Amino acid sequence: MKQLCIALVCIAMLPYYSSCSNQSNVPGLHGSDVVKLSADSAKSLFAVDCAVCHMDNGQSRAPGLIHLGGMTPKSIFASLESGSMQLQGETLSKQQKVAIAELLTMRPFVENNQHLNYCESRNLKLSKVKYSGWGGNPEGTGFIEPDIAQLTADQVPNLKLKWAFGFEGGTVSRTKPTIIDNFLIFGSQFGEVYCLDMSTGCVQWMYEADANVRGGIAVSEDIDNQLIIYFADFGGNVYALKANDGKPIWKTSVKTEPNNAVTGTVTYFDGLLYVPSDIHGSDNRRTRKL
């Protein structure tokens, strides 16, 4: 009982995403007559059904609030509906799962991203990598050759805004864009990875990872000379996607501890992908090879 009381006090401190609409976006639930649960109901549900493991400082190997908050509402919902938390989600309705997912992430649960400004032509054949990973090259110098940058130092004070891209609901951006041909590829606070046209800012493709992407994007070529991009998310998942269309090739997890997170940038070298991983909130860091 003492544990539950402590959990309730902590959950009362969880912020609430106040602009969630009453319109349902839950798969299989349609229409404005489906009223969403209040944040208070979600807090009570979390306290009763989840807190015993998720707020026990890792004793049950369950990720803490900082990790759950880094996931997308969709991936929390999917975990409760059909993933590793299916058993714990068994007694919850779809609305209850959505309410918990929105509470933990402070984001509305949105089914699709049709509102994105997609490019008219979306048939990429990317070839020349100009800047990738955290430092731009395997040596990590962060330097872009002038012929690629097409910019001199004395031009910098006179730059004018060409276009702007907003991360909906975003407050922070931590990934550096990888540049291939005339396109930027970068991750976001909410797990979306975007490929944007540098001339117009329109979206070529968008891939939804399970949790926020903080590191940069590494690139390699496969045997057909197609470019492959690699990145990791905060939940310890590592992804390989086709650079041309963002379609997934594989996804794996480097998680060995409940609070494992990847906040650094993966590096591709000579057929191996190097993935930095840390136990978030401690000094225990390590790098794994895949």
Applying CB under 6 A, the residues found at the interface with ligand HEC are 49-50, 52-54, 60-63, 68, 71, 76, 79-80, 83-85, 88-89, 100, 235, 258
HEC-encoded secondary structure of the chain: CHHHHHHHHHHCCCCCCCCCCCCCCCCCCCCCCCCCCCHHHHHHHHHHHCHHHHCCCCCCCCCCHHHHHHECHHHHHHHHHHCCCHHHHCCCCHHHHHHHHHHHHCCCCCCCCCCCCECCCCCCCCCCEEEECCCECCCCCCCCCHHHHCCCHHHHHHCCCCCCCCCCCCCCCCCCCEEECCEEEEECCCCEEEEEECCCCCEEEEEECCECCCCCCEEEECCCCCEEEEEECCCCEEEEEECCCCCEEEEEECCCCCCEECCCCCEEECCEEEEEEEECCCCCEEEEEC
Q: Which is nearer to ligand HEC, 195 or 213 (CB)?
A: 213
To the nearest whole angstrom, how small is the minimum distance from the Cβ of residue 98 to ligand HEC?
11
To the nearest whole angstrom, how small is the minimum distance from the Cβ of residue 263 to ligand HEC?
16
Q: Whole-angstrom Cα distance, residue 106 to residue 42?
A: 12
Q: Which is nearer to ligand HEC, 67 or 176 (CB)?
A: 67
Q: Which is nearer to ligand HEC, 39 or 71 (CB)?
A: 71
To the nearest whole angstrom, how small is the minimum distance from the Cβ of residue 91 to ligand HEC?
9
To the nearest whole angstrom, how small is the minimum distance from the Cβ of residue 209 to ligand HEC?
12
Q: Which is nearer to ligand HEC, 82 or 155 (CB)?
A: 82
Q: Which is nearer to ligand HEC, 83 or 281 (CB)?
A: 83
To the nearest whole angstrom, how small is the minimum distance from the Cβ of residue 228 to ligand HEC?
24
To the nearest whole angstrom, how small is the minimum distance from the Cβ of residue 96 to ligand HEC?
8
Q: Which is nearer to ligand HEC, 124 or 232 (CB)?
A: 232
